[in-house]
Every structure is written in C-alpha cells, then in structure tokens.
Amino acid sequence: MRFSDCLGQERPLSIIRAHLAGSRFSGAYIFSGPEGIGKKMAAKIIAGQLNCTGQAQRPCGECSSCLKINKEEHPDLHIIQNGESQIKIEDVRDILRQASFRPYEGMVKVFIIDNAHKLNTEAANSLLKVLEEPPKDAVIILITHKPQNIIKTVLSRCKAIKFTPLIRAQLENILIKNYALDKTTAHFLAYYAEGRLGLALRLKDTPLLQEKNRIFDSFIISAKPLDRNIMGQSKEQLQVCLNILASWFRDIYLLKAGAADKEIIHSDRHSDLLKLIPKFSFKQLDDILSTLSESSLYLEKNVNSKLLLHNLGAQLWKV
Ligand SMILES: [Zn+2]
C-alpha cells in the first residue's frame, strides 16, 4: 500500500505528507469524511510510511514491515474496529497500556480508532490524556464519518484532516482505467456510491447491478407491492433495497427536472426511466423519496419492518 493507492485523496494526503516530512508532525489526528473514501487506508499508509524499512520511496509496499501493516499484523499497529458497537473504556485502556511501551519492531507505534464516534463518554474521557501528550514514538489516528458525535475535548486535541468523495465522473474513469470495469458497471458504481472509491470497490464484487435491475423490474415497472421475499429479508438487505428504490426515484426526479443523461445513476435503463416520467408528479416523487428516507431511519431504529414496508408499498403504488 502506497500513497498512490489512495486515489483521489491527494489533498488530505499532501497535508499528511507535509506533516510527516516536517517538524509539525503531530501525534493525534482525526480523519473525517463519508464512509468508504479511503480514511482507514490513508491511516495504514501513514503507519507504513513511519515504519517502512525500504530505502527509496516510503512506504515501499514490499518490505516486511509494509507487508505486515497491509495485513494488519504488525505488532506496532493497533486498530480498534468495533463496527457499529460502542468503543468502551477497556478498549482505550489497552491503547494506553500499549502506548506506554516502546515499539516492538518498528519505529513508531500507530493506533487507529475506526468509527471513533462510537467511543462512549467514559472511553473518550480516558483517551484525553494520551491525545494531549502522545508518547514521542506513537501516533493516534481517529477515523469517523460522524465527527459531530465526538466530544469537543477529544476533537480539540487532534489535528483534523478532512477527506471528501471524488467527483463521480472522475471515479467512473478510475474504475474503468485502474479496475478494468466496463463503462456501464463503472458508471453505475461511481454514481451509486456517490464518488466513494472504497464503497464502489466493495460493491463491485456483489450482485448489486443485477439486484438493482431486478428491483426496478419488479417493483417499479410491474408496480408489484413489496413481496414476501423482500419482507423476509434481513435488516441489512432491506436497507439496501430501500437505498436502491430511492436511487431509482431520484433518477426519475432528475430526468423530469431536465438533468443530463450522464448525471443519473441508472443510465443503463435510461429509456425505461424516460417512460416513467409522465407517471409521477414532482409532488408524488417528493413524497415517495421522503417515505423511503423515513423508512430507512425507522429501519435503523428497529421499528417493525413488516409494517413499515406495508405502508411504504401502499404509498409507492397508489400512484
Ligand atoms: Zn516498506
């Protein structure tokens, strides 16, 4: 993993590189920005740069230190990634204990706290001291897509680096050139992932392209109510289904408002979408999009999903 692998993040990376090269290097950082745009990758690249034993370009991506960091198996790289679960004081105590030791085999210990907005208050407070005065041979990197949920005392002790998504057309080109995707797939992934390279890459190996067309054919073209199959799906699958439905209706809205063909997500079904334009008024499309977004929120809060989908179906197909 090298700096050049973190495509489209030249600006935050150039700030980080300047810090790494100069005396301004700070021991505590917070990387913020939407999910799936390379924040964690950038943090690992920093760990690589600080510990690489290569002679020329660092991180070289090839020395034993770089290889271990890529695989997250380096003894001086500590990553807290609890997913959607809370980060508790025990997790932070582990960081504090590890930070008090010298690096085992590298030069700098790197601590990455992924989803740092999941730090509970007790854990966040216990982190303050090490953020205030990190040991000279340690770097702490907090990663978050919800910095507003992190207490101010933590934020104020970290150097903030903002990451932003790529321009969608730029991501489409990267997916074609660097990942050999065909234009239809690249366009869909770039626009559906809203310019987030990491997310697009995660989605590329899923059957999302077929699934989104199946959802379109079943529930929009044939106007079938959400069927039992959908009802029986997991919360995550339902969330994907709601996102896909929203993306279709957003496209219909955009085309109706006169957006250029290339600006829509589902350009592979452009002619089908055009046929649907007269079927919906702007008001109806607005209502549908609001219902879809409310449904997503309810689903996140574990509101009875069957009832939710029943209500959603009733609204979508009354038109
Ligand atoms: Zn290396």
With contact defined as beta carbons under 8 Å apart, do 220 and 250 qualify? no
Ligand 1 center to residue 3 CA distance, Å? Answer: 12
154 shares its domain with 37? yes
| pLDDT given at position 302 | 75
Rounded CA-CA distance 86/81 in Å is 10
CATH of the domain at 225: 1.20.272
Q: What is the DSSP letter of 169?
A: H
152 shares its domain with 25? yes
Ligand 1 center to residue 62 CA distance, Å? Answer: 5
Q: Is residue 170 part of a domain?
A: no
Rounded CA-CA distance 70/219 in Å is 42
Among residues 4, 35, 2, 7, the alpha carbon closest in space to that of 170 is found at 7
Q: Is residue 118 part of a domain?
A: yes
Query: H or E element: which one contains 33?
Result: none
Taking a 5 Å cut-off on Cβ, the residues next to ion ligand 1 are: 52, 54, 59-60, 63, 66
Q: Is residue 174 part of a domain?
A: no
Ligand 1 center to residue 107 CA distance, Å? Answer: 12
20 shares its domain with 117? yes
Helix ranges restricted to H, 22-155: 39-51, 64-70, 89-99, 121-132, 152-155
Residues in contact with 169: Cβ distance below 8 Å, sequence separation at least 6, in sequence order: 190, 262
CATH of the domain at 115: 3.40.50.300
Residues in contact with 21: Cβ distance below 8 Å, sequence separation at least 6, in sequence order: none
| pLDDT given at position 237 | 82
12 shares its domain with 154? yes
Residues in the chain where the model's pLDDT stays below 50: 319
* Cα 112 from chain centre: 16
Q: Is residue 233 part of a domain?
A: yes
Q: Is residue 19 part of a domain?
A: yes
Ligand 1 center to residue 77 CA distance, Å? Answer: 14
90 shares its domain with 153? yes
Residue 119's identity, in one-letter code, is: L
User: How many distinct structural domains can be found in the chain?
Assistant: 2
| pLDDT given at position 227 | 60
| pLDDT given at position 240 | 87
143 shares its domain with 282? no
| pLDDT given at position 223 | 66
18 shares its domain with 152? yes
25 shares its domain with 155? yes
116 shares its domain with 215? no
Among residues 221, 226, 237, the alpha carbon closest in space to that of 291 is found at 226
35 shares its domain with 141? yes
Q: pTM of the full predicted structure?
A: 0.80
Rounded CA-CA distance 174/121 in Å is 40
Residue numbers of the domain that contains 39: 3-162
Q: Is residue 187 part of a domain?
A: no
Q: Is residue 221 part of a domain?
A: yes
